[in-house]
Amino acid sequence: MSPETDKRRSKKLGDKNDLRIKAIENGTVIDHIIPGQALNVLNILSDGENFTNTVSVVMNAGGSRGDKDVVKIEGRELTEKEVDAISLLSPKATVSIIRDYEVVQKRHIKTPDSVCGIVKCINPNCITNSGEPIETRFAVTENEKGLALRCIFCESVMTEDLIHFIE
């Protein structure tokens, strides 16, 4: 095999990898998302609107720590609220900020002790559901089933399907 062919070959292999998780110029990479949660993460980021950013999603990608989902969003960095909301779905995710193709910041998501204005209370009679301009606030704890959110206003506890309550 001539060196030329060899070069072309490795280029081709490189392209294959690029297709899987393409490098982005500026934006955010959310990695180590629990498999199956990528679309919920997108839901949080889209905030009910259509994306105008380029978004790549890889589901069930094999990694050194087992399967994971990965979301890449171009031209956008996440707000603290978005990171907190993602932490409720996927506490072990990492968020990397990319500028000019370089990772300028990578951090492990930390589940906060409380979340404000992110989750709607399950209790229809809660004061936060009464139309009053009161921001929701939940204490976050962990139990054997996973995360548990306790409303500080009405004491309602929510443990499952948190995605349905994220505002």
Give the Cα separation of 91 and 94 in Å (integer).
Answer: 9
Closest approach of Cβ 156 to Zn ion, in Å?
Answer: 5
Q: Is 151 assigned a ligand-binding role in the annotation?
A: yes
Q: Does 121 bind Zn ion (CB under 5 A)?
A: yes
Query: Which residues are CB-neighbours of 31 under 8 A, at least 6 positions away?
Result: 68, 70, 93, 94, 95, 96
Q: Is 116 assigned a ligand-binding role in the annotation?
A: no
Q: Does 151 bind Zn ion (CB under 5 A)?
A: yes
Cβ–Cβ < 8 Å for 26, 99: yes
Among 141, 153, 159, 165, binds Zn ion (CB under 5 A): 153
| Contact range with Zn ion by CB under 5 A, out of 14-22, 57-65, 103-111, 117-125 | 117-125
Cβ–Cβ < 8 Å for 150, 120: no
Among 55, 57, 126, 148, binds Zn ion (CB under 5 A): 126
As a dihedral over the C-alpha atoms of residue 82, residue 53, residue 95, residue 105, rounded to 10 degrees, the angle is: -120
Closest approach of Cβ 56 to Zn ion, in Å?
Answer: 37
Closest approach of Cβ 123 to Zn ion, in Å?
Answer: 5
Sign (positive or negative) of CA dihedral 89, 95, 97, 103: negative
List of residues contacting Zn ion (CB under 5 A): 121, 123, 126, 151, 153-154, 156
> Binding site residues for Zn(2+), as ranges?
121, 126, 151, 154
